Structure 1
Amino acid sequence: MNVLLLNQCFYPDVMATAQQLTDLALGLSEAGHTVTVIASDRGYDDPSQRFPPRETWRGINIIRIPSLALGKKSRLRRSINFGTFLINCSWQLLRLKRFDVVVALTSPPLISYLGSLFVRLRGGKFFFWVMDLNPDEAIAAGWLKENSLPAKLFAALLKSSLAHADGIIALDHFMKSRIVAKGVPSELVTVLPPWAHDDRVNFDHEGREVFRREHGLKDVFVVMYAGNHSPCHPLHTLMEAARELSTRKDIVFLFVGGGSEQEKVRQFAAQHELETVRCLPYQSAANLSASLSAADLHTVVMGEEFVGIVHPCKLYNILRVGCPFLYIGPTESHVGEIAAQLDSSRPAYLATHGNASLVVQHILKALADWREGKPRPVAEIASSFSRQALLPRMISLLESEKPEEAPLTKPVADGRILAGRSS
């Protein structure tokens, strides 16, 4: 089978979608399929980082195309960056012949439309791997007005992508419901969460100690937010909790990753002179286990309006390293359902946006447990979201052997979430 994969990010980029797509490409190649990837020649979070325009890596043919890099400080600049990538991607697709299978992700928005159009012109099967929903995300974030001409245009292009797909992969059942509500037959949509990187992410005691020593974190309690700092994951409640705990020098809030909102974290910390708030860039894949293991309490954040639009895939690596986590967001969500399945030995602390005082209580409770030397929890549910469990199902789907869709979380009937030590 000859497969084409389309996404802005791919190896060696460390963005979440890049890592997921890299795993899929390697899995397909190891299964004997021929794999070609079209991606950007720039790093997603650091566009000054440039990658070779052509490369064969572990049997995968990588075509990297140029685009402008005007920064992310305005929606106009981001739109121009995306637009130039899509134009160059279109030109590259015109030069390619038929593929048996084309898989498009969602970065940048509308790349799925190019994938569906390419298949209509050249033939083959088209699979839409929905990492986020646009323009739904842009509307929820306030970037687009729902009844504006751009929003209507993007909605029409999304609907076309969905209508011409031979298969659609949604990340959770909330996302599937949104897709089905757009008129897509339910049987066309398969729920497959993004997998944890269990081949390279586990609790790393030695790496934890090295990371904490290198970053001056010895003998402190580390509350970590790791990943994309996006408006979809509003950090104001966590930051307010950091402000309330600013006199506690034994607690450090560490923000690791990148994205447009990380600068706001820096500004908030500077404005309130929060010495206990620190920021680090994305960590390399080789350092991922060590950095994630360095946390004593991880945080997962979901904006109220973004359930089913985006998906907090960071949770699965958190479960892999066996770290308690604090979830700030709506309880009726994918994260809430997972939290509801954890018992008191594998705590999940829950709070809603705006309730910084409860977040403070949770952090102090987790700190007390840490001081008592309670062992790090190991959640059995983590195996459900492992690369070993989910990647073969994805490959089977692309090979047109649709995998049986088993529920990975148990919805709570009345919408209440009672988990771990969330009270």
Structure 2
Amino acid sequence: MRILLLNQCFHPDHVATAQHLTDLADELVKDGHRVTVVAASRGYDDPDVRYPVREMWRGIDIRRIWTPGLGKKAKWRRLLDFGIFWANATRILLFLPRQDVTVCLTSPPLISTLGTVMARLKGGAVVPWVMDLNPDEAVAAGWLKAGGLAERALTFVQNWSFRRASRIIALDRFMADRIAAKGVRSEVIHTDAPWSHDQAIQYEVAAREAFRAEHGLTGKFVVMYSGNHSPCHPLDAVLAAAEQLKGEERLHFLFVGGGSEFKKVQAFAQAQALKNITCLPYQPMEKLSGSLSAADLHLVVMGDPFVGMVHPCKIYNILTLGIPFLFIGPDQSHGADLARRLNDPAHGRVARNGDVPAIVQQIREAMELGPRPVNTAARELGAEFSHSVLCPKLVGVIEQAAAGH
């Protein structure tokens, strides 16, 4: 089959959607499919990074789109980048041959609509893989006014696309419920979490110690937030906790990744002169085992309004490694569901957003217990979300979509 993958990010970008889409493309090629990827030519987090406009990589035909790379400092910059991506993606898709299936992720927002339009012009099935749900997320973040003209227009377009999809991939039960509420038939919705990178990431003592030594963390109890720093994952309470705990010499907070809120973390640490905070950029896949293994307590954060719109996919790597985590978010959410399933308060901790005293208490308790041995129960739970289980399952859904179209 001819399969088109459409998203802003792809290999060698390090953001989560790029990594998952790269895994999927690899699996599709192994199954004998002809895979084309259309993505941006600039790095997601650093637009100064440029990738080849056209290349064949591991049997995957990659077509990359030029955008001006205006960055995320203002809404108009992001909108212009998105608009030019859409325009150039349209040009590329018009000249591609008919695809049996188009798999659309959700960056830029509503890109599945473009995939749907092209499929209706040329034929073929469309499978939106909903990594985040817009314009719902934009309304929850305050970027769009609920009930306003722009929100109503974007919701109409989104619903039109979703209702014409052959399959829709929701990431958890909360997202599936939101999609169903838009009038999408239940048999179209498949709830499949994004897999861990267990094929590439494992707990490595030597890599842990080397990473900690490299960044001056030897002998410290490391509390880590790794991944996308966005308004959907509010870190204000975590930063307030770091300020309250600045007198704990053994304790250190490590923020790894990027996103629109990453510079705010850096600015807070500088403004408050907090020496217990270190910020590092996204780590390449070959260093991710050492980076993630370096934590003694991982942080997973979900903003209350964003349940069912975004997904805490970082938690699967954490479970795979067997390292304790603190989930900060609402009780009715996927992260809290997993903590309850683990049923080990010393390993899967929970606190509410904004509850700084509770967050401080949970971190203190974890530090007093000290570094924990790798948790077998956590790793068994994480195995349900492994690459070997979930990636082939998604390939099967895509193949079914083509067969049923």
> Deviation at 1:374?
3.8
1:185-222 per-position Cα deviation (integer Å, ceiling 9, x unaligned) = 11110000000011101101111011001000000010
SS for the counterpart of 2:44 is coil
Taking only the aligned residue pairs, the percentage that are identical comes to 52
Equivalent-residue separation in structure 2 for 1:207 and 1:16 (angstroms): 21
Q: Is the 8 A contact 2:196 2:317 kept in 1?
A: yes
1:10-51 per-position Cα deviation (integer Å, ceiling 9, x unaligned) = 000011000110000000000111100000000000110000
Instruction: Look up the match of 2:337.
Output: 337
Equivalent-residue separation in structure 2 for 1:65 and 1:259 (angstroms): 21
What pairs with 1:6-405 in structure 2 (closer than 5 Å)? 6-344=6-344, 347-370=347-370, 374-378=372-376, 379=378, 380-400=380-400
> Deviation at 1:149?
1.7
Structure 2: runs of 5+ lacking an equivalent: none
Q: Letter of the aligned partner of 1:134 in structure 2?
A: N
> Deviation at 1:401?
7.3
Equivalent-residue separation in structure 2 for 1:145 and 1:139 (angstroms): 6
Distance 1:39 1:179, change over 3 A: same
Q: Letter of the aligned partner of 2:279 in structure 1?
A: C
Equivalent-residue separation in structure 2 for 1:204 and 1:340 (angstroms): 27
Structure 1: runs of 5+ lacking an equivalent: 403-423
Q: Is the 8 A contact 1:345 1:377 kept in 2?
A: no
Aligned residues: 400
Q: Is the 8 A contact 1:346 1:377 kept in 2?
A: no
SS for the counterpart of 1:341 is helix
Equivalent-residue separation in structure 1 for 2:330 and 2:257 (angstroms): 23
Q: Is the 8 A contact 2:167 2:401 kept in 1?
A: no
Equivalent-residue separation in structure 2 for 1:9 and 1:263 (angstroms): 21
Equivalent-residue separation in structure 2 for 1:164 and 1:361 (angstroms): 49
> Deviation at 1:321?
1.1
Equivalent-residue separation in structure 2 for 1:88 and 1:401 (angstroms): 27
Equivalent-residue separation in structure 1 for 2:401 and 2:136 (angstroms): 30
1:162-190 per-position Cα deviation (integer Å, ceiling 9, x unaligned) = 01100000000100000000011111100
Instruction: Look up the match of 1:407.
Output: none
Q: Is the 8 A contact 2:7 2:108 kept in 1?
A: yes
Distance 1:47 1:307, change over 3 A: same
TM-score, length-scaled by structure 1: 0.93
Q: Is the 8 A contact 2:2 2:99 kept in 1?
A: yes
Equivalent-residue separation in structure 2 for 1:70 and 1:401 (angstroms): 37
Q: Letter of the aligned partner of 1:291 in structure 2?
A: S
1:320-341 per-position Cα deviation (integer Å, ceiling 9, x unaligned) = 1111001111011011111001
Moved over 4 A (4+): none
SS for the counterpart of 2:342 is coil
> Deviation at 1:157?
1.2
Equivalent-residue separation in structure 2 for 1:199 and 1:27 (angstroms): 13
> How big is the alpha-carbon RMSD for the aligned residues of Structure 1 and Structure 2?
1.2
SS for the counterpart of 1:103 is strand
Q: Letter of the aligned partner of 1:142 in structure 2?
A: G
Instruction: Look up the match of 1:411.
Output: none
TM-score, length-scaled by structure 2: 0.97
> Deviation at 1:344?
2.7
Q: Is the 8 A contact 2:256 2:279 kept in 1?
A: yes
> Deviation at 1:346?
6.3
